[in-house]
Chain A
Amino acid sequence: MIKRIRRDYPVLLLAIPGMLIICAFQYYPLWGNVIAFQDYQPYLGVQQSLWSGFENFKTIVAGDPEFVNAVKNTLILTAIQTVIVFPAPIIVALVLHSLLSNRLRQIVQTIIYVPHFMSWVIVVAVFQQVLGGTGMINNWLRGHGYDPIHVIGNVEAFRALLTSQVMWKDTGWATILFLAVLSQIDRSLYEASAVDGATRWRQTWHITLPGLKPIIILLLILKLGDSLTVGFEQIILQQPAVGVEASEVLDTYVYNNGIIGGDWGVSAAVGLVKSVVALALVLGANKLAHRLGEEGVYRG
């Protein structure tokens, strides 16, 4: 072994700086979860804060209304994003894939990928400028004698607003994977089916969609693991306009209660439960995918 280390130490030296960062900011923080079991006080630090056992978890078990509200909002938003946001890029990818002109397809792709590279601050700012009370659309409506629409800052429209922002930002980008998979479907399948008299619709239904099935399942598994994480930056930015009740999700609850509100222990407990549930969801979904005879995310 010493011989191997002596032989390979130059390789190990190259690995060290990167591994240090991963350990420092990915693995090392895990100890910080101990404050979930403490009555943590920042001026005392982790070493001197008093242990409180499962006290902090009582908030979760007892169903603190703010916490329950955050869970409810998170799950509703996740449901919307799975049902409405997730299929959108599949539809766009199918349309793009069916175009005859490669040039046209590239032009459209170039345009619709752009918003993905904009920060949430920019996206939210752009939406405000378009839909806000004095924004572009209301400006036009007023100029032409119509009533303005009330979207920004409207509690009832908030979920629709979040959803349309997510779609505006990432629908284009999400097509990239589907298009790559579509381009790998065997052309001879289409030819054979056309000879047998299949229409374009039947080809889409019987060849294209089954071809997309593995990638759809893979993405749904990943999404399930993320189902307790919804639009943190997006919501933090817009929370002041609509208030906590309509907008609080688990991540913003942890931030607002812990780092802003100083209730560190309870927030860490919520964060810890969230991480554990998320990990269990990924592992569980992956297992389920194997049962169903799909590849899943990893083997094992």
Chain B
Amino acid sequence: MKRNQVLVGGMPMPGRAERVVKALFLTLICAVVVFPFIGVISTSLASPEEVIRAGGFVMFPTDGIDLSAYRSILSGGTVTQALIISGFITAVGTTIALFLTCTLGWALSRRGTFGNKPLLLLVLISLLFNPGLIPTYLVVQQFGLLDSLWAVILPVSVSAFNVIVVRAYFVGLPAAVIDSARIDGASEWKLFWHIGLPLSKAVVAVVGLFYGVGYWNSFFGALLYLNDSSKWPLQLVLRTYVVNGVEIGAQELGTAGEALPPQTSIQMAILMISVVPILCVYPFIQRHFAKGVLTGAVKG
């Protein structure tokens, strides 16, 4: 060790060259993530004249903000309907998924009860394999769920991984609290609902937000099980009009008789309304997810 050497966390201070390289590297990574979104937001908000002048994309709008693209997709047509369906799937799906996951996680956390070990094993083994596309399709068909929104909600409503994460948290709760409540005569449901859940708000929030993001983003389930395009959620509409570039007209938008904003603006506005809800919940998940992911990784 050189004399007067400064150690930070046990490591020698980085040299100037190393610091410059790291700064460039991290700036580049962040720019690659951020720039596409800026382009999308800007184009969706730019005025029609500016979009046409720029030939499709606007990075930094100078004409001020124009909400006509949003107004036209939200005026009651296909996109509005898809937005409502996605909202329904997300709200109902997340509620059901959270209920099923937490009750099962709670039951599995009560070690020593009848059947505890076999049930836990059944959940763990299900992590090891995937039943496969066609067998799952046949089951959904057999249950009569084809062309029903329940086909998008139910098959993914219990993630074994999340059950294990929630269970690990419940197991870690102080046994004294639970035992004393039981001695006071609290039923199993009361223990779960009034003691277990309130003490585990953090993990319930993270798992709930993961389910929520999953349902909001659900694409393949909808593609597979929903043939009726009037039941399509936002992701399928996004695929049709943005990825596949199908022209979206006044009829689909429900804005007959008005001048339409440029296609690019409409496409970017559709893209934005599917991104924004995620960006809104993101800060809430972000605070907790390191913890959530870790418990799962360590105990799984």
Task: Give me the interface of A with B, judged by CB distance under 8 Å.
Answer: 1, 4-5, 7-8, 10-15, 17-19, 21-33, 35, 46, 92, 95-96, 98-100, 108, 110-115, 117-122, 124-130, 134-136, 139, 142-143, 168, 171-172, 176-177, 180, 187-197, 199-200, 203, 229, 232-233, 236-238, 240, 251, 254-255, 258-259, 264, 267-268, 271-272, 274-275, 278-279, 282
Contacts and interface: CB of A to CB of B under 8 A. Distances in A.
Contacts of A24: 139, 143, 154
B136 A32 contact: yes
A95 B279 contact: no
A188 B10 contact: yes
A195 B7 CA distance: 10
21 contacts: A11-B107, A14-B104, A18-B163, A22-B104, A25-B131, A25-B136, A29-B138, A32-B132, A32-B139, A114-B282, A117-B278, A117-B285, A121-B217, A125-B271, A126-B37, A129-B267, A142-B55, A194-B12, A199-B12, A240-B244, A259-B137
A121 B103 contact: no
A158 B34 CA distance: 23
Nearest to A36: B134
B205 interface: no
A121 B238 contact: yes
Contacts of A15: 103-104, 107-108, 115, 119
Nearest to A24: B139
B157 A21 contact: yes
A25 B154 contact: yes
Contacts of A21: 100, 154, 157-158
Most buried by B among A33, A121, A124, A191: A121
B12 A11 contact: no
B130 interface: yes
B134 A200 contact: no
Q: How large is the interface on B (under 10, 10 to 19, 20 to 34, 35 or more residues)?
A: 35 or more
Contacts of B160: 22, 26
Contacts, number: 279
A177 B106 contact: no
Contacts of B88: none
Contacts of B135: 29-33, 268, 271
B36 A251 contact: no
A158 B44 CA distance: 28
Given A11-B188, A28-B139, A200-B11, A194 B1 contact: yes
B101 interface: yes
A177 B134 contact: no
| A-B CB proximity, top 4 nearest | A190-B10, A18-B104, A32-B135, A10-B188
A168 B32 contact: yes
A110 B239 contact: no
Contacts of B40: 126, 129
